Amino acid sequence: MKVILMQDIKGVGKKDDIINANDGYARNYLFPRKLAVEANSENMSKLKGKQDSANYKKEQEKEKANELKEKISKITLKVTVKAGENGKIFGSITSKEIATELKQQYNIEIDKKKILLKEAIKQTGIFNIDVKLYEGIIGKIKVNIVA
């Protein structure tokens, strides 16, 4: 019997998977616990609509990420800090400060976890920093650290 899983079941399958299950297993275990529904035409069309909706949502998010990538590639973020001799900064610039400055200066909100810094910035100068915007979409932002 073909069934559509409503939840992840260890050793059986993931949510929205269509699997072949024994009749007894489906009727006595999966259906009473609402872990699965029968894969009839009505339930299949509901599943297809759900998957189409999810795909549309992903496409919208991808388009927004590409627009944001274009927007941040054109800007240069200026961060003013106190620095000593030879351009050495007192303290360091982290992804949190970069995210805060982006919000203040350009009203662009990016999560600090998505700003990919290998290590904190401890020198003045211009740095190109990667920003992970979406799966497979990485933007670059120019950060100018001045004293």
Q: Give me the pLDDT at residue 70, please.
A: 92
Which pLDDT band, with edges at 50, 70 and 90, does 104 fall under? very high
Specify the amino acid at residue 93. I
Whether the full predicted model's pTM is greater than 0.85, yes or no, is no
Same fold, 2-62 and 64-146: no
Spelled out in words, what is the top-level CATH class assigned to the domain 64-146?
Answer: alpha beta
Q: Which of 65, 63, 51 is closest to 139 using CA atoms?
A: 65
Architecture label for domain 2-62: 3-Layer(aba) Sandwich (3.40)
Return the domain boundaries, the chain. Answer: 2-62, 64-146
Flag whether pLDDT at 10 surpasses 90.
yes
Angle at 126 between CA 123 and CA 131, to 5 degrees: 105
Q: Give me the pLDDT at residue 91, please.
A: 87
At 9, which helix (H) or strand (E)? Answer: none
Q: Give me the pLDDT at residue 44, please.
A: 95
CA dist 144 and 79 (Å) reads 6
Q: What is the pLDDT of residues 119-143, one digit of tens each?
A: 889 989 999 999 999 988 999 999 9
**φ and ψ of 82, to 5 deg:** -85, 135
